[in-house]
Amino acid sequence: MRGQQAEVTRQRILQVAAEKFTQDGYAATSVRQLAAAAGVSVNTLYAVGGKPEIFRKALVQVMDDNADGVRLIDRPGVTEPFGSQTPTLEQVLGEWAAVITAANGRAAQLWAAFEEAANTDPDLAVAYEQETAKMRADGHRGLESLVAAGLCPAPADPARLVDLLWVAGHPRTYDLLVRRAGWSPAQFQEYLASHWAGLLRADPI
């Protein structure tokens, strides 16, 4: 029971932290404000982590939409297209675009706060580089699975292709098109799936 209560408290802290950091930004949000908003003591908050660690954990939880640390590429909505039936490239990319669009809808503003904080906080600067590396590694895994399934040709330069795919679905791209340019999430999802398909069917220059 004590372990369950601690987990509930941890989840509440991370949820409140995501809301506060999204609303007020990283620099303007203090540890005491986070503790007060979550209804816990500062010591309880520090049991979850310091301010940079809480921010990172909150971001990952919001982006991946789970508390177990399972990355988007390992979610059922991403792996299911490779089930018993052979999918088309468009079907797989449609599933993936839906997952990425939903993740960006949850976390694009928090990611913007992440980028801002990484410019001033050394710990978050390291975390930003680590998360970026993980996202690109996930892109390589996704590309390799598509090639292995025979859904697209093997590219001459996999690293460059992954970079192009990654930038298209990046939270910043979502922020520019949806929050700044007024696209709907559905329009972004349609763009993402079709753009990915175009990149994967032809070796990019």
Q: Would 120 be classed as within a structural domain?
A: yes
Residues 173 and 196 in one domain: yes
What local confidence, expressed as pLDDT, does residue 161 receive? 96
23-27, 59-63, 76-80, 152-156: the lowest-pLDDT one: 76-80
The alpha carbon of residue 152 and the mean position of all alpha carbons in its chain are separated, in whole angstroms, by 24
C-alpha 81/C-alpha 78 separation (Å) is 7
Q: Would 54 be classed as within a structural domain?
A: yes
Q: Would 192 be classed as within a structural domain?
A: yes
Residues 140 and 191 in one domain: yes
Residues 134 and 154 in one domain: yes
Residues 167 and 90 in one domain: yes
Q: Which two tokens stand for residue 14?
A: 């991370």
Taking only Cα atoms into account, the Rg of the chain, rounded to an integer number of angstroms, comes to 19
Residues 135 and 196 in one domain: yes
Neighbours of 161 (CB within 10 A): 20
Last residue of a domain, one of 12, 39, 61: 61
Last residue of a domain, one of 42, 61, 80: 61
Residues 84 and 11 in one domain: no
Contacts of 35 (CB under 8 A, 6+ apart): 41, 42, 44, 45
Residues 123 and 22 in one domain: no
Q: Would 155 be classed as within a structural domain?
A: yes
CATH code: domain of residue 54: 1.10.10.60
Residues 46 and 81 in one domain: no
Q: Would 111 be classed as within a structural domain?
A: yes
pLDDT at 72 over 60: yes
Q: Please, which pLDDT band fits residue 79 given cuts at 50, 70 and 90?
A: low
CA torsion through residues 67, 71, 77, 82, sign:
negative
Residues 94 and 21 in one domain: no
Computed over every residue of the chain, the mean pLDDT equals 90
SS (H, E, C) 3-68: HHHHHHHHHHHHHHHHHHHHHHCCCCCCHHHHHHHHCCCHHHHHHHCCHHHHHHHHHHHHHHCCCC
What local confidence, expressed as pLDDT, does residue 73 receive? 75
What local confidence, expressed as pLDDT, does residue 64 receive? 81
What local confidence, expressed as pLDDT, does residue 3 receive? 75
Of 88 and 86, the structure prediction assigns the larger pLDDT to 88
Query: Structural domain of residue 156, as residue ranges?
Result: 71-205
Residues 76 and 56 in one domain: no
Residues 97 and 157 in one domain: yes
pTM equals 0.88
pLDDT digits (tens, 9 = 90+) for 123-149: 999 999 999 999 999 999 999 999 998
Q: Would 66 be classed as within a structural domain?
A: no
Q: Shortest CA distance to 45 belongs to which of 10, 5, 3?
A: 10
pLDDT at 75 over 90: no
**b vs e for 145-160, b when ≥16 Cβ sit within 10 Å of the residue's Cβ?**
bbeeeebbeebeeeee
What local confidence, expressed as pLDDT, does residue 71 receive? 74
Residues 47 and 78 in one domain: no
Q: Would 46 be classed as within a structural domain?
A: yes
Q: Please, which pLDDT band fits residue 187 given cuts at 50, 70 and 90?
A: very high
CATH code: domain of residue 197: 1.10.357.10
pLDDT digits (tens, 9 = 90+) for 110-119: 999 999 999 9
Q: Would 80 be classed as within a structural domain?
A: yes
Q: Give the number of domains in the chain.
A: 2
